[in-house]
Structure 1
Amino acid sequence: MSFKKVASAFAILFALALILVVVAKQQIEDYLSLPRIDKTQLITVPAGSNFSRFGDELLAQSVVTDLRWWKIVGKLYPELTKIRSGTYEIKEGFNLEDILLTINTGKEFQYRVTFVEGSTFKEWMVNLNDAPQLQPLQKTEAQLIEALGIPYKKLEGLLFPETYHYSANMSAYQIIKKAYQHQSNVLKKLWQEREEGLPYKTPYEALIMASIIEKESGLSDDRDKISSVFVNRLRIGMRLQTDPTVIYGMGDRYDGRIRSKDLREKTAYNTYTMSGLPPTPIAMPSEAALYATLHPAKTKYLYFVSKGDGTSYFSKSLREHNNAVNKYIRGK
């Protein structure tokens, strides 16, 4: 066979091989780019998974119908083979490349648990126990206090209320720890920036007051005025006489109503029967409530009553306050 014929045959074979490579490459690209997910969902990649096992899992879940190209993808795209365990959000319209890139990053789906301002530690426990994919607390409140090195007898007030994000199988203790550190940092900063002459000896006393203000304030604009009422009362030795402390002291006995006998009952928290602050906070105060506590308005108010629309009416005298109570509470 002449050299020209050999060269021609070689050229034909090369062209055919090139065509096959191009076709194969296109098929692999189609294999990777074909949309596979028709509904956003969570998938969990177990610990110890690798590229091969993950392909088997996708086949079992019918995300792919065959694995003929799977091993070839692993050879041609090694950057897509770094399978990391965890729970991931796979969105509607994702193709295989999208799925693999999501898992390669290791950025797991973030669940959320929200604690509202003014919530109590008891309510936090309910939220944590109901939170999906969160390992439950294995410690009592006393054990949590010991583990965190807290110099107080209760966690009430010491946790910052907000939305916390977590990955699957995270411990609830980690959220408690983060919330405690956040509240500690906020309280430390605001205490250092507080106004002078306030009737609080320690940051913890300010935290107690902030929890009361949080429960008393239906409108954020009223917080600094409510704060001024309590400051004015503390300065003259007048009892705080605030209903939320009565409710907290009643505990599970509270049924939505406060009766006259409840106001007279001597509990550790009833500020109608005791002078000064209760022994601990009564809820988890927000940063805004803490700020209002340490930056009260400059007023001579000694009383306030809810107007029923989220705002309060403030009074300097008992007579004016009684008139406001008749108007806004008794409807006279």
Structure 2
Amino acid sequence: MTQPKKKKKKRTRLLPALLLGVLLGLGADAWLQLNAALPIERPTTVELESGQRLSSLSRQMEDRGLFSSDRQRLYLVIYARLHGEATRLKAGEYALEPGVSPLGLLTVLTSGKILLHELRLVEGWRFSQAWKLIRADPNIAHTLGNADNAAIMQAIGKPGIDPEGRFFPDTYRFPKKTTDVSFLRNAYAAMDKILAAEWTARAPNLLYATPDQALIMATLVEKESAVASERPIIAGVFLRRLQTGMRLQTDPAVIYGLGDAYDGNIHTEDLRTDTPYNTYTRDGMPPTPICLPGREAIHAALHPDDSKTLYFVAKGDGTHQFSSSLEEHNAAVMRYQIKPHLHP
């Protein structure tokens, strides 16, 4: 009768040992799996939606082949819950590099260091060009649809303002799903800030009554030359023309006024066709900016040179010849435009 009791006691002592062995084995396996590299061969991204749980995201990643096994994924979810990491996840899009482990993934998802995308608005572009680029960007949440300019400005809180020239050309970095309204507000605020700073530091005794007038001039300067050293000279030419009652006679403004009718070449008839932007037929500056001006152009408009030049003509190499008299200007036109082959 005593023999069976001994066997029972022996089995009872074995159970804790077996259980401990199983737990140690699972722990070792979990440690190995949590520190093993995910099967990511090239940089990739994952996106944690607002309110999404790690279990849901990890299943999506597993469907994409970003876990070596379901076991590796389950260990991560359990670890995150046991250590309180599951409640510290921050929504957003994250970049993952080859070699990252599940624990490394968890560090990324709780860091808040979300991936930022880039979009560049180019100096000299029209607003329509910038808006086309914004609308085509897949990382921007498009809420404005086919809104016209008036509706766009209404949406960003600037009703009644023409959008041309109001958005600072720069490279913007933003998280995925930034709305088009938010993006435009940021670009508008950037232009406001820079224009205000340049206006405060402007040269004395300028003709501009408001910063908006300086902005219009900056757009003319922006379109007339890409050479930084020439911009203050061009601004000086235009301001002296206004002071002496001359018309600005700037082709970029005429082209802007032609709109879709512009065929890539400016013709004599175009210079005679009156529009609000034809500075050959109308006095003063155009009614609005004609492009997105960069800071250099804004600075030049507010710090024009003080020479006596009144004319300039393109030399064909990206620069201009500046003249103080009509006689000098006509000679420069002959040399660089009409008979450039005679002057190597």
Asked whether the two chains share a fold, i.e. TM above 0.5, the reply is: yes
Match of 1:288 in 2: 296
Letter in 2 for 1:229: V
Match of 1:273 in 2: 281
Shift of 1:169: 1.9
In the alignment, does 2:129 pair up with 1:127? Answer: no
Which of 107, 111, 114 is equivalent to 1:101?
Answer: 107
SS at match of 2:312: strand
Shift of 1:24: 5.1
In the alignment, does 2:219 pair up with 1:211? Answer: yes
Q: 1:101 to 1:228 in 2, by over 3 A?
A: same
SS at match of 2:70: coil
Residue segments in structure 2 that go unaligned for 5+ positions in a row? 1-12
In the alignment, does 2:59 pair up with 1:56? Answer: yes
Match of 1:30 in 2: 32
Q: 1:132 to 1:151 in 2, by over 3 A?
A: closer
Q: 1:62 to 1:150 in 2, by over 3 A?
A: closer
C-alpha contact (below 8 Å) 1:111/1:167 kept by paired residues: yes
Q: 1:71 to 1:46 in 2, by over 3 A?
A: closer
Match of 1:254 in 2: 262
C-alpha distance in structure 1 between counterparts of 2:316 and 2:336, whole Å: 7
Match of 2:307 in 1: 299
SS at match of 1:164: strand
C-alpha contact (below 8 Å) 2:76/2:103 kept by paired residues: no
C-alpha distance in structure 1 between counterparts of 2:132 and 2:156, whole Å: 20
SS at match of 1:144: helix
Shift of 1:165: 1.9
SS at match of 1:329: helix
Q: 1:78 to 1:320 in 2, by over 3 A?
A: same
Does 149-158 or 183-192 show the bigger shift? 149-158
C-alpha contact (below 8 Å) 1:42/1:88 kept by paired residues: yes
C-alpha distance in structure 2 between counterparts of 1:225 and 1:299, whole Å: 8
| Superposed counterparts of 1:6-155, under 5 Å | 25-36=27-38, 37-64=40-67, 65-67=69-71, 68-79=74-85, 82-136=88-142, 137-138=144-145, 139-150=147-158, 152-155=160-163
Shift of 1:309: 2.0
Q: 1:296 to 1:71 in 2, by over 3 A?
A: closer
How many corresponding residue pairs? 322
C-alpha distance in structure 2 between counterparts of 1:279 and 1:107, whole Å: 44
Match of 1:244 in 2: 252
Q: 1:238 to 1:151 in 2, by over 3 A?
A: farther
Shift of 1:33: 2.5
Q: 1:321 to 1:25 in 2, by over 3 A?
A: farther
Letter in 1 for 2:66: V
Shift of 1:173: 0.9
In the alignment, does 2:319 pair up with 1:311? Answer: yes
Match of 1:172 in 2: 180
C-alpha distance in structure 1 between counterparts of 2:269 and 2:258, whole Å: 11
Residue segments in structure 1 that go unaligned for 5+ positions in a row? 1-9
C-alpha distance in structure 1 between counterparts of 2:75 and 2:189, whole Å: 50
C-alpha distance in structure 2 between counterparts of 1:51 and 1:152, whole Å: 46
CA deviation profile, 1:149-179 (whole Å, cap 9, x unmatched): 5475411011111111222222111111111
The root-mean-square deviation of aligned C-alpha atoms, in Å, is 2.5
C-alpha contact (below 8 Å) 1:49/1:83 kept by paired residues: no
Which of 311, 321, 329 is equivalent to 2:329?
Answer: 321
Q: 1:23 to 1:329 in 2, by over 3 A?
A: farther
Letter in 2 for 1:214: E
Shift of 1:204: 0.7
Match of 2:230 in 1: 222
C-alpha distance in structure 2 between counterparts of 1:150 and 1:141, whole Å: 11
Match of 1:3 in 2: none
C-alpha distance in structure 2 between counterparts of 1:206 and 1:327, whole Å: 33
C-alpha distance in structure 2 between counterparts of 1:81 and 1:146, whole Å: 39
CA deviation profile, 1:123-160 (whole Å, cap 9, x unmatched): 01110111112122244321233344547541101111
TM-score (norm 2): 0.85
C-alpha distance in structure 1 between counterparts of 2:86 and 2:51, whole Å: 17
C-alpha contact (below 8 Å) 2:62/2:70 kept by paired residues: yes
Letter in 2 for 1:129: R
